[in-house]
Amino acid sequence: MNKSDNPTLPGIHPCRFRMRRTVLRPIKYSCAAFCLSGLLAAAPLFAACTPITAQAAARNDSPEFARTPQEWERLRDNRLEYDEIPDLIHEYNTTVINNRIEYRDYRGKDRKDTAQRYRDTAREIRENISYPDDPTDMSYATMLMAAQTSETTAKNLEEMADNNVDDAQVISMQYEQVEENLVLSTRLNLISYYQKLLNQKLTEENQKLLELQYEVAQNQAAAGTATQLEVLNARQAIEQQSSTIINDSRETETLKQQICLATGWSYNAEPEFGPLPDLDPEVILQIDLEADRARALETNYTLKINRRKYENSTSERNQKTLEETIRDNQQKISSDVQTKYNTLLNAAMSFELAQTEETVAAQNLAAMEIKFQTGLASRLEYQQEQFNLTSKTIAVENAKLSLFSAWVSYQGAVDGLAAAQ
């Protein structure tokens, strides 16, 4: 695809911006950075917003020989293509970078090694606990609470050590799951971004119609055929629509920031977003639901992680709990695939219905145009019919995007991300 190509959505043009990413990445900020919280959890957690310098980000990219110069050039330009999302997240997402750094401490470790780290941390906490000895001290209650909290933390760590079922393989799968979820959510956010742009276009077109209605109400009031209340209501409708336009713009900007953060830009960067791929509706008819359900059970990260934990468990109580958890995972995975399949079918039917309604709206406008040209319809009636067609055309594009979103969600479920809990 040529870098100058515009998105294929009608009426939508990508914004071109000044900043470009280079080998040394611009400063990035992430408000949703997963990391291991010390030794308190093997699963990734959200971390605070933390700036990562260009040099730090560059150090954590794959080595230059891992990709061709052309591939690196695509990733480092100021345009985000849909098919680049997995690679951008792998190379530049703060969460993924942090997880790669954290994993170095777990590589090659078995569950005993992980349990020992829990115990070592618990010992260090206990060694630093200091109970206050003067009840008259103003800070006595605070210091006492801090000491008791430390005792509880140390105890929890020791219990985690006794019951630990995590090892390097579990940690690795958890990090892979995080990365794949980031890819999926970013894909869906990009689709939502384009839907927001469509909604903005619709509200702006509706604003024009409302302004005409206000003008007509003013003229009718001057002629004595409308009341001032009708004029005020028409004016209020314009103000409410203006507020909607502002809110839509804010929501669109928020989505853009989330996409930028996920793919390595700073939150206020302004990369150009490329078009979404076209989905051939015929692929939906070719779905083998039972085969996809089986694949979902085979690839699901949560299920694989729990099975590995079961293998690592030495406690009969933990094994019985994990057996029940695994059975529950399997049921929920199957159910989620079915739900997302149903959503996909419904989205396909909605797309077909939207196309039919657009055809009817076009026919209605053609008939209205004849009436308008022969003086049998007013300018307001004609523009109302024009807006109706515009809204139906946008509805087709929105339904098309919803169908693609449902497809992406379904494929995500089949490829390991079905809801298992």
pLDDT tens per residue across span 161-181: 877 888 899 999 999 999 999
Question: Confidence class of residue 21 from pLDDT cuts 50, 70 and 90?
Answer: very low
Is the residue at 142 inside a domain? Answer: yes
Under DSSP, the state recorded for 135 is T
- Kindly state the percentage of the chain with pLDDT values over 70: 86
Domain count of the chain? 2
Q: Mind spelling out the 3-state secondary structure of 357-413?
A: HHHHHHHHHHHHHHHHHCCCCCHHHHHHHHHHHHHHHHHHHHHHHHHHHHHHHHHHH
Mean local confidence (pLDDT), 280-301: 95
Sheet strands (E) in 311-421:
none
Q: Which residues, including other chains, have CB under 8 Å from residue 228's CB and lie 6 or more apart?
A: 221
Q: What is the pLDDT of residue 31?
A: 31
Cα–Cα nearest to 360, from 393, 397, 327? 393
Measured distance CA(318)–CA(88) in Å, rounded:
39
Per-residue pLDDT at 264 exceeds 70: yes
Is the residue at 93 inside a domain? Answer: no
Measured distance CA(313)–CA(94) in Å, rounded:
32
Mean local confidence (pLDDT), 201-212: 90
Is the residue at 376 inside a domain? Answer: yes
Cα–Cα nearest to 88, from 273, 312, 216, 220? 273
Under DSSP, the state recorded for 107 is T
Measured distance CA(21)–CA(84) in Å, rounded:
14
288 and 154 both lie in a single domain: no
Q: What is the pLDDT of residue 314?
A: 83
Is the residue at 104 inside a domain? Answer: no
Per-residue pLDDT at 24 exceeds 70: no
Dump the DSSP string for 263-312.
TTS-TT--PEEPPPPP--THHHHT--HHHHHHHHHHH-HHHHHHHHHHHH
Find the CATH number of the domain harbouring 403. 1.20.1600.10
Cα–Cα nearest to 168, from 223, 79, 104? 104
Is the residue at 264 inside a domain? Answer: no
Report the range of poorest mean pLDDT among 23-37, 59-73, 115-129, 244-258.
23-37
User: For 224, left (φ over 0), alpha (ψ -120 to 50), or beta?
Assistant: left
| Mean of pLDDT over the chain | 84
Residue 132: domain span:
111-162
Q: What is the pLDDT of residue 62?
A: 81
Residues making up the chain, counted from first to last? 421
Report the range of poorest mean pLDDT among 106-120, 230-244, 276-290.
106-120
Is the residue at 178 inside a domain? Answer: no
- In this structure, are residues 157 and 309 in contact, taking their beta carbons and an 8 Å threshold? no
Q: Which residues, including other chains, have CB under 8 Å from residue 69's CB and lie 6 or more apart?
A: none
Per-residue pLDDT at 327 exceeds 60: yes
Mean local confidence (pLDDT), 20-40: 33
Q: Encoding tokens for residue 231?
A: 């004029």
- Kindly state the percentage of the chain with pLDDT values over 90: 65
- In this structure, are residues 365 and 386 in contact, taking their beta carbons and an 8 Å threshold? yes
Measured distance CA(212)–CA(344) in Å, rounded:
39
Under DSSP, the state recorded for 32 is S
Question: Confidence class of residue 61 from pLDDT cuts 50, 70 and 90?
Answer: low
**Which residue type does 112 have?**
K
Q: What is the pLDDT of residue 154?
A: 93
Q: What is the pLDDT of residue 281?
A: 84
Per-residue pLDDT at 37 exceeds 60: no
Helix (H, G, I), strand (E, B) or coil at 28: strand
421 and 287 both lie in a single domain: yes
Is the residue at 217 inside a domain? Answer: no
* C-beta contacts of 111-115 below 8 A and 24+ residues apart: 111/164, 111/165, 111/166, 111/167, 111/312, 113/167, 114/42, 114/164, 114/166, 114/167, 115/160, 115/161, 115/162, 115/164
Question: Confidence class of residue 28 from pLDDT cuts 50, 70 and 90?
Answer: very low
From 99, 129, 162, the end of a domain falls on 162
Per-residue pLDDT at 53 exceeds 70: no
Is the residue at 290 inside a domain? Answer: yes
